[in-house]
Structure 1
Amino acid sequence: MPEVVTTTPGLFPLPDWAKDELSELKGHQKADLISGDEGSEIQDAYERGRAEVVDRQQEAGLDRIVEGQLRWDDMIAHPLAVHDNVDTRGIVRYYDNNNFYREPVVTGDLTAAGDVAAELEAASEQVDSGLQAVLPGPYSLADLATDEHYGDDAAFLEGVTEFLAGEIAEFPEVETLFLLEPSLVENAPGDGADERASEAIDAVASEADADVVAHTYWGALDEKVYAHLMDADVDAIGFDFVADHEANLYNINEYGTKDDVALGLVDGQNTLVEDPETIAERIEWVADQTQSTDFETVYATINTETFYLPVNKFEAKLDALAAVNKTEVEA
């Protein structure tokens, strides 16, 4: 019987009070925000929001606790959007949905900034064990950005990889790191680029003193991309079983997977709340369909970021997911 670890890929919706308060504050401080200075009142609101969502995860009983990424207005492009050597320009669509982010244009060297590490450090003061870090994977972060400094795609990916590795070096102690890689599905790398993407993920993962999950979503990976990703020294690959269970099963059964696995079983974009029994049944179903693979650890998770959800539905999904370990899951 595998160990079931309940967790999320982060990027939570703002608490309702924080949406109103931050909207008003940002309206008053628009000039400061353009220059990158959030101001003490905005910082305080985010800190209160972080404390609230960390407490809410612990109250639900999740095995891994994330910081929540409430400041990430630009979704997984955030670590670049706040960098000194990055200009944020026009508003562009975030993958194929109705969310938008500011295009990060890299104009200088991507040195480590410590922004994500500072958020994790603050969260660590509330979390005794089970802290999980969340970062964009290097391929997705490079895919969402525009390069005006490094000169070609390979050099740019290398620069983004070194930047993320530098961020990780400043992390406090964490048990797990989720690297979010939706672009591997949404804008799959071609020949040569697929191998470079895997090598970049490997390089980032090697800097983490934690279990690393390369989490893919919004579909399934092309076979060749998946085969290269298997070469990366990560502890688990994440599969979106909400968006495409058949193709993900095929990849696992055809090419194998790591000893641990992350299963996106709860819908991060649909307000229908799954019950714990349904989630447990989905874990059992995957295990039944992948008999050649005996997982040591199953990370039971929401398939995508959760900022799409109303807060009440998001919290209900947290409760249902956390309750899975109170429901019998058979090997």
Structure 2
Amino acid sequence: MTELVATTPGLYPLPDWAKDELSDLKGHQKGDLIDGEEGAEVVEAYGRARGDVVDAQVDAGLDRIVEGQLRWDDMLAHPLTVHDNVETGGIVRYYDNNNFYRDPQVRGELTASGDVAAELDAVDADGEALQAVLPGPYSLADLATDEHYGDEADFLDAVADFLAGEVEGFPTHETLFLLEPSLVEAPPGDDVDEHASEAIDRVAAASEADVVVHTYWGAVPEKTYAHLMDADVDAIGFDFVTDADASLYNINEYGTKDQVAMGLVDGQNTLVESAETIRDRVEWVEERTHTDFERAYLTSNTELFYLPVNKFEDKLEALGDAAALAEVDA
């Protein structure tokens, strides 16, 4: 019987009180930790907000706990936008989600910064429940502007090495989610498919945890998916909200890993799915793939940043309840 694990891809909305408090801090932009007294206030506010979203996950019964990435104003680009050798350019839109972020322009060597590791160190959760979240190397390279390496392949290698260095500094964690929506939105193409898979491999190898490459905004094109299957990861994530049929086709045509991440909850729609609906969707996938998965991560298809806080918390609860239903059924 498939083990069902309730989790999320992270990138949560700020609690309402934190939005108000942080906006009142003079000169503060989320993601910029300023030196001095004001910086201490910002750090303390984020610490309390982190505690709130960790508590929300625990209360919802999630099996994996993420840090929440509340500082990630620039979403997936955050690990670069806070780097000393990266300048943040003008405002750009990533993908087609009506949210705007700063353009990270890489002007020097990408060395590990320890920024994400410090966030994970601050999470009050057992290592056996902790889930780390990072952008995948292909998506991070796709969202950045290279002003230093001068070659697309070299730049992807540099981003992969940078992320691997970040992972090496992580505390003990049970799962690592690498978020790779660019494999769908801006697929690598014939000459880069294999290289993108190798870059993912490099980051995954830096972690001793189970590694999930979560893709979303649709389904990965066939050839890109076939190369992704070559990556030595434990699971691939599928967006069954945006394009269930194409996701099923990839699984049935090219196979998948023994574990899978099922994006069954809509990360952008305020309509809250019931636990029963999520379980029905799990069965729908299992019946149509004819695959006996060792483990299925039940998750939202995208980040949950786009939701109001109350709807975000309701969706956490639905995911936790869906996994708990499986235990009752067993």
Contact 2:265–2:273 (CA under 8 A) maintained in structure 1 = yes
Aligned to 1:46: 46
Deviation at 1:162? 0.4
Structure 1 segments unaligned to the other structure (5+ residues): none
Q: Residues 127 and 174 of structure 2 are in contact (CA less than 8 Å); yes or no, is this contact kept in structure 1? A: no
2:312 is the alignment partner of 1:317: no
Q: TM-score, normalised by structure 1?
A: 0.96
Q: Is the 8 A contact 1:184 1:216 kept in 2?
A: yes
Gap change, CA 1:35 and 1:326, over 3 Å in 2: closer
* TM-score normalised by the chain length of structure 2: 0.96
Q: Which amino acid aligns with 1:313?
A: K
Q: 1:32 to 1:61 in 2, by over 3 A?
A: closer
Q: Which residue is equivalent to 1:206?
A: 205
Root-mean-square deviation (Å): 1.7
Corresponding position of 1:221 = 220
Deviation at 1:40, TM superposition (A): 1.1
What is the deviation of 1:294?
1.4
CA contact (8 A) 1:94 1:101 kept: yes
Shift in alpha-carbon separation, 1:252–1:42, aligned structure 2, 3 A: same
Using the TM superposition, give the Cα deviation of residue 31 of structure 1 relative to its aligned residue in structure 2, in angstroms. 9.3
Where 1:83 maps in the other structure, the secondary structure is: coil
Report the counterpart of residue 115 of structure 1 in structure 2: 115
Deviation at 1:29, TM superposition (A): 2.2
**Contact 2:12/2:69 (8 A) holds in 1:** yes
Looking at structure 2, the residues matched to 161 and 31 of structure 1 have their Cα atoms a distance apart, in angstroms, of: 27
Partner of 1:171: 170
User: Partners in 1 of 2:112 and 2:14 — Cα distance?
Assistant: 27
Per-residue CA deviation, residues 179-214 of structure 1 (Å, 9 max, x unaligned), is 000000000111111111000001100110100000
Structure 1 residue identity aligned to 2:306: Y
User: What is residue 160 of structure 2 aligned with on the other side?
Assistant: 161
Give the whole-Å Cα distance in 2 for the aligned partners of 1:253 and 1:32.
Answer: 43
- Distance 1:108-1:279 versus aligned 2 partners, 3 A rule: same
Query: How many residue pairs get matched?
Result: 327
Q: Percent identity?
A: 70
Question: Could you list the per-position Cα deviations for residues 68-120 of structure 1 after superposition, in whole angstroms to 9, with x for gaps in the alignment?
Answer: 00000000100000000000010000211210111000000000000000000
- Aligned ranges 1:175-186 → 2 under 5 Å: 175-186=174-185
Compare 163-172 and 125-134 and name the one that shifted more.
125-134
Alignment-mate amino acid for residue 325 of structure 2: T
**Structure 2: 5+ residue stretches without partners:** none
The answer to whether the Cα contact below 8 Å between 2:85 and 2:110 also exists between their aligned partners in 1 is: yes
Task: Describe the superposition over 1:45-88 as per-residue Cα deviations: whole angstroms up to 9, x where unpaired.
Answer: 11110011011101111000000000000001000000000000
CA contact (8 A) 1:36 1:82 kept: no
| Residues 175-324 of structure 1 mapped to structure 2, 5 A cutoff | 175-291=174-290, 293-324=291-322
In structure 1, C-alpha distance between the alignment counterparts of 2:14 and 2:94, rounded to whole Å: 18
Instruction: Write out per-residue CA displacement over residues 125-153 of structure 1, whole angstroms, 9 at most, x where no aligned residue.
Output: 34363100000000000000000000111
